[in-house]
Structure 1
Amino acid sequence: MKPPPDSRAPLPPFTLDSAKMKVRLAEDAWNSRDPQRVILTCTRDSVWRNRVEFPVGREAIRAFLQRKWAREIDYRLLKELWVHDGCRIAVRIAYEWHDDAGQWFRSYGCENWDFDRHGLVRARFASINDKPIPAAERLMHWPLGRRPDDHPGLSALGL
């Protein structure tokens, strides 16, 4: 049976390798800072909790991401698989960004994802904290966009 055109491989149930692949694909989508690319990985009625915002559905998620990336300038993100089971994946995250005054931050957190059978995110729950950092303490220096394969991940950076 062929998956529908809006499915997103790899599909659940996840193995260790397919969960790691799903995490990297999600990291790549977020590092594109393209809301359209991210929302196409979600069900049309996807439910999110991100800090104090609770967007539901692709259009609300798109608006959330547009606000986020307008505020979080030069955003670079790392995601690392924490655990997986069936249709769920939990990740640790860290990302660096600066505000319009030039203050750099490192944001730390975790995300829990629940996927439908087509590999689309039907629920995403994120808990994130921001730490102001001097620019000299930044660890994520690749050009904007996809993290290079040889750039260290969270554990290798001691995060």
Structure 2
Amino acid sequence: MEQKFPLPSFIEETAKQKVQLSEDAWNTKDPLKVSKNYAVNTEWHIVGTIIKTRVEVKNFLIEKWNNEFDFKLKKKLSVFTDHVIAGHFEYEYQNNEGQWYRASGNEICEYDTNGLIRRRYTSIIDEKIEASERRL
């Protein structure tokens, strides 16, 4: 049975660990590694798009990171319950033309008993920035 520790039920310490592990995985820019944090039948709502499987998560991330360079992400825990973690994130990247962007938003992740994300709801706002405005 596939599991991703720490497992629910979350307490503050394990919720913070889960957020940090997620941040670390995303900063590898490895679509396979990141997608393994999601249940096989995950459901991810992201800015008008619904992704329904782990394979779709992986494919989404492949396309994303083929167009985003120098990607760097920071996540922060906001609140949690026994199976849900909500937080804020911010990341910066350059596109194919060299334009820098900062994206920020909120996410709510619902975990199954094996510590995999079964549902993720994400809102994101992208803004153009100058290289001198980078924070990450």
TM tier, smaller: over 0.9
1:51 maps onto 2:43 in alignment: no
Q: CA deviation at 1:52?
A: 2.6
How far apart in 1 are the matches of 2:69 and 2:95?
A: 6
Residue correspondences, number = 136
How far apart in 1 are the matches of 2:129 and 2:48?
A: 23
Post-superposition Cα deviations, 1:20-62, rounded to whole Å, max 9, x if no partner, equal 0000000011111111101111110000012232111111111
Moved more, 46-55 or 119-128: 46-55
Alpha-carbon RMSD across the aligned residues, in angstroms, is 0.8
Aligned residue in 2 for 1:40:
36
How far apart in 2 are the matches of 1:60 and 1:53?
A: 11
How far apart in 2 are the matches of 1:79 and 1:137?
A: 19
Q: Which ranges of 4 or more aligned residues in structure 1 deviate by more than 3 Å?
A: none
Q: Please state which structure has a larger fraction of its residues in strand.
A: 2
DSSP 3-state at the match of 1:54 = strand
Unaligned runs of 5+ in 2: none
How far apart in 2 are the matches of 1:51 and 1:40?
A: 22
How far apart in 1 are the matches of 2:46 and 2:68?
A: 14
1:93 maps onto 2:82 in alignment: no
1:132 maps onto 2:132 in alignment: no
Give the alignment's TM-score, normalised by structure 1: 0.84
Amino acid at match of 1:68: K
Q: CA deviation at 1:92?
A: 0.1
Closer/same/farther in 2, CA of residues 110 and 53 from structure 1, 3 Å limit: same
Unaligned runs of 5+ in 1: 141-159
Task: From the CA coordinates, give the structure whose radius of gyration is larger.
Answer: 1
